[in-house]
Structure 1
């Protein structure tokens, strides 16, 4: 089975993170997610992150740090999530492709509202913030 490489941006401001709602017709639809998307052929994960966040939530990244890389098998799909903290950006994040988006407190993120692969991201994010 092909593994889909996905660049994920955990956009943070203070103790909040910006998340988007997956449309119901997508894999894991109806769940909240951190913005990002597939790494295209010939693209680095960082390049994919910059492109995807500009397309999806209309921001231009000015600073990012690697957070965690996760391999997850959903049974019908395998993903490799390359996750970055995005703590510097220009613009105000918005659901640029019609998807709902909102700021949530990092302390109160509910892992059950996210796809299973995101649980480790939430844990890593909470550890990252605690160590700041």
Structure 2
């Protein structure tokens, strides 16, 4: 009974995630050491606000975080992941059309990484399924 209560009260975060593609590489960013899952690489994005849909949230987050404007994105996959202290729902889109050059606008490190080299970086557990699907689909 207690586990059910804990689960019901666990904070769920809806996150719009962008896989920014250019040829056989994607742009990833490194999380600040002081935040949840700090020091790990991630596909950029952020929380979906109450008054927006995933596509709008993704465009807003990538503009704020990377300084790019999304022209076109499409759904890639959906992941539910429980980190123990919080539950995340990742709404992942591929972004192959955008204007601007991605860079860490909020002080975060960013890099273009070949899809075949993503496994060499440390990602949060929730991102591992994304990498597996990217490799299967694009390599």
TM category (shorter chain) comes to over 0.9
The aligned runs of 1:67-106 (5 Å cut-off) are 67-106=76-115
State whether residues 56 and 97 of structure 1, in contact with CA within 8 Å, keep that contact through their aligned partners in structure 2. Answer: yes
The aligned runs of 1:6-45 (5 Å cut-off) are 6-45=15-54
Larger radius of gyration: 2
RMSD, aligned α-carbons = 1.1
Unaligned runs of 5+ in 2: 1-9
- TM-score normalised by L of structure 2: 0.90
State whether residues 111 and 122 of structure 1, in contact with CA within 8 Å, keep that contact through their aligned partners in structure 2. Answer: no
State whether residues 15 and 89 of structure 2, in contact with CA within 8 Å, keep that contact through their aligned partners in structure 1. Answer: yes
Equivalents in 2 of 1:28, 1:111: separation in Å? 17
- TM-score normalised by L of structure 1: 0.95
Unaligned runs of 5+ in 1: none
3-state SS of 2:77 partner = strand
TM-fit CA distance, 1:9: 0.2
Equivalents in 1 of 2:112, 2:103: separation in Å? 10
